[in-house]
Amino acid sequence: MFHPLRTAAAVLLLTGALVAPVAPAPPVAAATPVSGFVDGHSHLFSYETFGGMLMCGKPFDPGGIARALADCPDHYPDGRLAWYENFTRTGSPTGTHDPAGWPTFRDWPAHDSLTHQQAYYTWVARAWRGGLRVLVNHLVANRQLCAIYPLKKYSCDEMASIRLQAQRARELQAHIDAEAGGPGQGWFRIVTDPAEARRVIEAGKLAVVLGVETSEPFGCRQVLGIPQCTKAQIDRGLDEMHALGVRGMFVCHKYDNALCGVRFDSGTQGAIVNVGNLLGTGSFWQARTCTGPEHDNTIDPAGVLPDQIARLLPPGVSLPLYPPAPHCNTRGLTALGEHMVQGMMRRGMLIELDHMSVKAADRTLDLLEAARYPGVISSHSWADPNFLPRIYALGGMVTQYGHDATEFVAEWQRTAPLRQRYQVPGYGYGLDVNGMGQLPGPRAGNAANPVTYPFASYDGSVSLDRARTGERVWDVNVDGVAHYGLVPDWIEDMRHLAGQDLVRDLAAGAESYLRTWEAAVRPPS
């Protein structure tokens, strides 16, 4: 979540020798393995976070699609006041766009428009019909981004935002149920254990797992190195999240907190997040030159900060200079962070490794290996790739960020030997929809082998023509993944590059995810 200028990253290579594998617990036998795709990381309800006025549009509205898919009030009449949308889309705070949503959708949703709704529920339904079987929806919050953006209707309290989004998730489930004839009848089912997920999928529906990706879980910020939470606070927070149906969590995200140091962002985006780190913790990131193969993202020279961000710096304060790359955050997993990881293991929750500094991730994996705990996830390519063997050795799951088709295929090919070595049955993606990161764009050079419409879903059960909503028709060859409904088209596009082997691996992704979850909720043998 919160990848404003994220473009497809270069494919990283594993370096150094593979670690000695830790024998994973044997998978729970399933009478019939499920078939279908897993999205390990998306945000259907992020429109309610960051103060509730940064993201435009909703995944549904009881009043209908015209009310749900409307632009933000401050984007009218022509988008020139939408400085955050403009900056994250083009690198400049100036720009214009047509704010009309339904029924014309002239300028949004688009794969590179980061503040407009991309997961209206009928679009998610198209992805479900095309093969999606497990959707991990992360409830998300970021106090500093909320504080930076001047317009808001809610407080910046992160846990209050998480609770509201959990409520919205159940409201969407009830809305879809009502359309299908009553409680329990809809295709969108929030699940709280892997057995329930299997029953939902076997019934032909979508299993939705709730997670949490927030910068200060349970108020665990740190100010000038002093933690602002206690172990008892963490225990109460984990109990509350588990009672809400949350089954996976990040320990830290974007900013250093009282639990762990973060994996840096780079470029202009990194400079913006570093300013947020200063405002939230009282200090900029602290970095050293790494000596091992693992490293955090490079803090490189940034471009010009938008005035709305630059003016937040105290007088006379500028961004710091750092030692030569590769960079590693000096902060790792704290004693409070270890307490949270141990608490998640006791509750059978899935631990997200992404966004941890390499120092924090290394220590977290040490704890999981000592406990032989398989419930570890890297859901959207925000962990050093040298950690992937340790994740797979434990029995964990990796879902790759929703890169453009060519890069996604290259990373799938690069990591295939690892999955074969550790007998991982499938692969997944973490689309990060509504996460302020670009969705896959149109594939360069696709004129030679475009997606042709209509095409059959991966199992041949559904024929998919071009996606249409209102007056707008989308074509993945031209528009990329402009919204969630175009995910099947993206997978079909990748089939043109990599053939059926890729599709078969993706179709085994839901089963792979459920095996990891099942192993996490039962004690080690």
pLDDT, tens digit, for every residue of 349-384?
A: 999 999 999 999 999 999 999 999 999 999 999 999
Contact 215, 140 (CB under 8 A): no
Quick check: is 460 in a domain?
no
Quick check: is 325 in a domain?
no
Inform me whether the pLDDT recorded for 7 exceeds 60. Answer: no
Inform me whether the pLDDT recorded for 236 exceeds 50. Answer: yes
Inform me whether the pLDDT recorded for 229 exceeds 90. Answer: yes
Average pLDDT over residues 43-63: 96
Average pLDDT over residues 136-157: 93
Going by C-alpha positions, the residue among 515, 509, 516 that lies closest to residue 39 is 509
What is the distance between the alpha carbons of residues 41 and 8, in angstroms, rounded to a whole number?
17
Buried/exposed 58-97: b ≥16 CB within 10 Å, e otherwise: bbbbeeebeebbbbbebbeeebeebbbbbbbbeeebebeb
Q: What is the pLDDT of residues 376-408, one digit of tens each?
A: 999 999 999 999 999 999 999 999 999 999 999
Greater model confidence, 275 or 368:
368
Inform me whether the pLDDT recorded for 280 exceeds 70. Answer: yes
pLDDT band at 522 (very low <50, low <70, confident <90, very high): confident
Partners of 138 in the beta sheet? 211
Quick check: is 147 in a domain?
yes
Inform me whether the pLDDT recorded for 448 exceeds 60. Answer: yes
Contact 299, 274 (CB under 8 A): yes
Quick check: is 394 in a domain?
yes
Inform me whether the pLDDT recorded for 14 exceeds 80. Answer: no
Average pLDDT over residues 322-338: 96
Inform me whether the pLDDT recorded for 495 exceeds 80. Answer: yes
Please give the pLDDT value at position 314: 86
**Residue 233 CB-density burial (10 A; 0-12 exposed, 13-18 middle, 19+ buried):** middle
Please give the pLDDT value at position 97: 96
Number of domains in the chain: 1
Inform me whether the pLDDT recorded for 11 exceeds 70. Answer: no
Please give the pLDDT value at position 58: 97
Please give the pLDDT value at position 318: 83
What is the distance between the alpha carbons of residues 326 and 329, in angstroms, rounded to a whole number?
10
The two three-digit tokens of residue 406, written as one number: 């060519």
Average pLDDT over residues 318-333: 93
The pair phi, psi for residue 427, each rounded to 5°, is -135, 160
pLDDT band at 31 (very low <50, low <70, confident <90, very high): low
Please give the pLDDT value at position 313: 85
What pTM, to 2 d.p., does this model score?
Answer: 0.92
Q: What is the pLDDT of residues 71-92, one digit of tens each?
A: 999 999 999 999 889 988 888 8
Partners of 447 in the beta sheet? none
Q: For 384-508, where are the alpha helices, taking DSSP H only?
A: 388-394, 405-421, 476-479, 487-498, 500-507
Pairing, β 472-474 against β 467-469? antiparallel
pLDDT band at 500 (very low <50, low <70, confident <90, very high): very high
Lowest mean pLDDT among 49-63, 174-188, 213-227, 306-320: 306-320
Q: What percent of the chain has pLDDT over 70?
A: 93
Domain that holds residue 356: 37-54+112-257+334-441+504-520
Q: Which long-range contacts (CB under 8 A, 24 or more apart) does 240-243 make?
A: 241/162, 241/212, 242/347, 242/349
Quick check: is 32 in a domain?
no
Q: What is the pLDDT of residues 103-123, one digit of tens each?
A: 999 999 999 999 999 999 999
Average pLDDT over residues 164-186: 98
Quick check: is 158 in a domain?
yes
What is the distance between the alpha carbons of residues 377 and 72, in angstroms, rounded to a whole number?
34
Please give the pLDDT value at position 202: 97
Cα atoms in the Cβ-side hemisphere of radius 13 Å centred on 63:
7
| CATH number assigned to the domain comprising residue 344 | 3.20.20.140
Cα atoms in the Cβ-side hemisphere of radius 13 Å centred on 90:
11
Residues 284, 290, 295, 297, CA torsion sign = positive
Average pLDDT over residues 203-225: 96
Please give the pLDDT value at position 312: 82
Q: Could you give the angle at the alpha carbon of 12 between the alpha carbons of 10 and 18, nearest 5°?
A: 175
What is the distance between the alpha carbons of residues 89 and 333, in angstroms, rounded to a whole number?
34
Q: Check residue 265 and report its DSSP letter.
A: P
Place of tokens 């997978």: 491
Quick check: is 81 in a domain?
no
What is the distance between the alpha carbons of residues 328 and 297, in angstroms, rounded to a whole number?
8
What is the distance between the alpha carbons of residues 115 and 314, in angstroms, rounded to a whole number?
28
Quick check: is 400 in a domain?
yes
What is the distance between the alpha carbons of residues 467 and 479, in angstroms, rounded to a whole number?
11
The two three-digit tokens of residue 19, written as one number: 């670690």
pLDDT band at 303 (very low <50, low <70, confident <90, very high): low
